[in-house]
Amino acid sequence: MNALTAYQHGGTGAAIRVGVIDSGIDLQSAEFGDCSGGVGTGSCRISSASIAAGGNGTIDDEGGHGTAVAFTIAGRRNDAGTHGVAFDAQLIVARADTPGSCADTSADGGCSFGDNAIAAGLDAARTGGARVVNISLGGDPPNTRLLQAISNATAAGIVIVISAGNDGDKPEGFNPDPFAGGAAASAGARGLVIIAGSVGTSDQISSFSNRAGTGASTYLMAVGERVRAPDQDNSAMLWSGTSFSAPQIAGAVALLAQAFPNLSGAQIVQLLYATARDLGAEGVDSIYGRGALDLTRAFQPVGTTSLAGSTGVVSTGINAALSGPMGDARQGPLGAVVLDSFDRAFATELARSIVRQGPARRLPALMATRQRSFSTGVRDLRVAVSLVPSRDSIRIERLGIGGSDAGVARMLAATVSGRLGSKAQFAIGASETGNTLTARLAGRDEPAFLVARDPLHSAGFDVDVTGSVAVRQSLGRWGVSLAQEQGQVLSRRDTQFAALRWDAQHSGYWRTTLGLDRRFGDLRAGLSLTRLSERDTLLGARFSGGLGAARADSNFVDLGLRYAISDGWSLGGSMRQGWTSAKLRSGVQGGGVIRTNAFAADIGKDAMFAAGDSFGFRIAQPLRVASGGIGIALPADWDYATMAVSAWDKGFINLAPVGREVDYELRYSWPLLGGDVSSNLFLRRNPGNYASFPSDKGGAVRLTLGF
C-alpha cells in the first residue's frame, strides 16, 4: 500500500481507536502492549471499551482469525518480523462469535457470527470513540438491528470497512458478498461503508476475491494474499482472503485520522477513493471498483494547494519566474506550510519553485529575413515604417527576429514625427520606446550596435511596446521632452506543457519620462527621470500563486553623453541608476526595495578607411539588479485545533545575481551598391547575468539595399 510515505509524515495511528468485530484477540500476545494487568491499563493498546458481544465470557481469541485481523491493523512495530498498518493505534475489540462455534473443527463447523452480536460490537465501538471499525465477516444481508447500528455509527462519522467476500471463483462472486453489499447500499451507510476487495502484489485481483459488481462505487482494494500475522497461539501464519484486505484499509483510515485531525470520516473515505491506483478499465469499474489503496498518494497534497493563512494558490511547478536583470540570483531556504483541498497541512520549499530565465538571444529585428523599411514625408512631417513578411495578417510586433516567408507583410515598427511650430516637435511610435523617440527628436543618432545596446533605450527585460508618444520643446540651447509609453511585459508562463512555457504571459506596464538635454559645442548631454509602473510584474519578473502578484513602481535616473571629437571621431556613454519599490498584493505579505544599474560606453569614427565607412566599439552592461529583494512572511506551523497558522517565519527572495553581464562589440560598415554592408563581432561575458555560463561569442553580417 506504499505506507512508507505515511510513516515519514509521522503517521502511526497514535491515540486513534479502531473497532475490530471478529473472533476476539490473543490477550497474551505482546503485539498489542502489556495487557497482563488487564485491558486499558499500562501500555496495553486494547481499550477497556472492548466487549464480548456474542455472549462469551472473555474477548480472548479462540479461533485465531480475530487476532490476525487485529495484528494487521495495529500489530506493534519493533524492527522484527512484520507490523500492523497503524502500529500505535488502540483497539476496541468486540468478540462476536457464537459461543462454542470456533471450537467446532468439524467439516460443517467453524466460527459463526450473529447479526445482533455484530450490532452490539458496533455500538460498543461507537460509544468507545472509534474512528473506524473493521468487520472481516460475511454472510446474509444485515438484519434490521444491524442496519440501525450501522446507521448510528455512520451518523457519528465512523468509517466501516467490510471484506468483500471470498467467492470470486463462483458465479455469485461477480458482486460483493450479500453482507457487505447490503451494508454499503443501505440508507444508513451515508457513503462511509467501504467494501474491501483483494489484489496480489502485482495489482491483479485475487482469484478468490469477490468483484466490485454492484458495489463498485464503494469498493476499494488492498493486498489480501499471504499476509503475515500471528494466530491465537502467537504462531506466525500466512493468511489469504479479503478478511486481510479490510484491516489494511481500516489501518489506513487510522493513519489519516491521526496525521490530519481535521478530516471527517467522509473526507477520509473521499481521500482514499481519490488517491487509489486506478486498475482495470479506466475509472470506477465492475471488477476493481475504485482501484487499489495507495498511502503514498494519500499522504501527498491532493487538489489545489494554498499557502496556509492565505488564499494564495501554490503551484506545484512555478511560483515565481525571475527576469533577465536578476540572472542567477540564488535563494536561501523558503520553507512554508501549504494546505491542500482537504485543508491538510504539508511542508514545502518555495525556493525550488522560483525559476530563473536564461540568457536571451540579442540579435534584433534588423537581422530579420527580407525585412523592408521605407520612409516618406512632407514639410515638418515624416513617417517611417519597417515591414517583414508574415503568414496571414498585418499587425504591429515588438522588435525581434522575424517570421517565415509569406505573402502578407507584418509591420514591425512605425513612427510618425513632425513639428508643432518652430520650437516644438512630436513623435508617435508603434513598437518604439519613448526614450528612442525623445533621442530622435533631440537629434541624437545612436551607433548601430546589435548586442551591446544602449540601456537607456530598452526596458532591460522582455516587453512588447504597444505604443509611445513624445514631445520636445526647445528653449534656446536647452530641450525639454516628455514621453509616455505603454505595453506588455512578457514573462514565462506556468504550465505543465513544456512547449507552451515560452508562450509568454502578458501584463501591462506604463512608463513616463521627463528629459532635459543641451548641446555644449560638440558635446550633447541628456538627463532624464523615468517612472515605470508594472501592474503584475517586478522588473519583468512574475510572482504568482502563494507568493502573490507583485506590483512595482520604479524610478530611474538616466544620463547620456556624446562628444564629437574631430576627424569623425566620437565618444559616447550612458548610465542608468534605478530604485524599485515592490509589494506583493496577494498571497503572502511582503515587499522591498531593489536597486538597479546599467551603463554603456563607446568610441567610433566615420570615414576611417574610406568615405562613407563607419567603425565603432562599445562596452555595455544591460540592466542588472545590484542589491535588494523581497522580504516575506511565511507560515511555519499549523495548528489543527484552531485551524490557523501558529508560527510565522521571515523569508527573503533574493533578486541580486552573482553574475554580471558585460557586452563587448566591434562594428564596421562600408557602402555598397547604393546601400551598405555592416559586420558586427560581439562577446558577452556572464551572459544573462549568470556567473557559471561560458562567454557568448558571435557575429553578424548585414546587407542593406535601397530602392
Residue 704: CB partners within 8 Å, gap ≥ 6? 675, 676, 677, 678
Q: Is 278 a catalytic residue?
A: no
Main-chain phi, psi angles of 560, to 5 degrees: -130, 135
The C-alpha cell 546587407 sits at 703
- Render 353-419 in DSSP notation, one character per residue: GEE---PPP---GGGSTT-EEEEEEETTEEEEEEEEEESS------SSS-----SEEEEEEEEEEEE
Decide if 252 contacts 196 (C-beta within 8 A): no
Q: How many CB atoms lie within 10 A of CB 416?
A: 16
Q: CA-to-CA distance for 425 and 440, rounded, in angstroms? A: 10
Q: Is 457 a catalytic residue?
A: no
Shortest CA distance to 706 belongs to which of 677, 664, 667, 681?
A: 677
Decide if 148 contacts 169 (C-beta within 8 A): no
> CA quadruple 61, 66, 68, 73: dihedral positive or negative?
negative
- Which listed residue (163, 198, 243, 306) is catalytic? 243
- Which listed residue (65, 167, 231, 328) is catalytic? 65
Shortest CA distance to 298 belongs to which of 6, 553, 52?
A: 6
Residue ranges of E strands in 136-276: 159-163, 193-199, 219-223, 227-230, 236-239
The C-alpha cell 518652430 sits at 422
Residue 537 β-bridge partners: 542
Q: How many CB atoms lie within 10 A of CB 607?
A: 12
Q: CA-to-CA distance for 142 and 151, rounded, in angstroms? A: 12
For the record, the C-alpha cell of 347 comes out as: 511542508
**Alpha helices by DSSP H, 424-562:** 434-441
Q: Is 506 a catalytic residue?
A: no
Q: CA-to-CA distance for 659 and 661, rounded, in angstroms? A: 6
For the record, the C-alpha cell of 348 comes out as: 514545502
DSSP secondary structure code for residue 290 in this structure: T
Decide if 211 contacts 290 (C-beta within 8 A): no
Shortest CA distance to 325 belongs to which of 628, 692, 697, 529?
A: 628
Q: CA-to-CA distance for 509 and 535, rounded, in angstroms? A: 6
Decide if 620 contacts 452 (C-beta within 8 A): yes
For the record, the C-alpha cell of 84 comes out as: 500492523
Shortest CA distance to 663 belongs to which of 698, 625, 618?
A: 618
Q: CA-to-CA distance for 605 and 620, rounded, in angstroms? A: 18
Long-range contacts, stretch 443-449, CB < 8 angstroms, 24+ apart = 443/524, 444/517, 444/524, 444/526, 444/560, 444/562, 447/572, 447/602, 447/604, 447/614, 447/616, 447/618, 447/667, 448/366, 448/667, 448/669, 448/678, 449/602, 449/616, 449/618, 449/620, 449/665, 449/667, 449/680
Residue 639 β-bridge partners: 644
- Which listed residue (22, 231, 454, 494) is catalytic? 22
Q: How many CB atoms lie within 10 A of CB 405?
A: 11
- Render 569-637 in DSSP notation, one character per residue: EEEEEEEEEEEEEEEE-SSS-EEEEEEEEEEEEEEEEESSSSTT-EEEEEEEEEEEEEEEEEEEEEEEE
Q: Annotated active-site positions, please?
A: 22, 65, 243
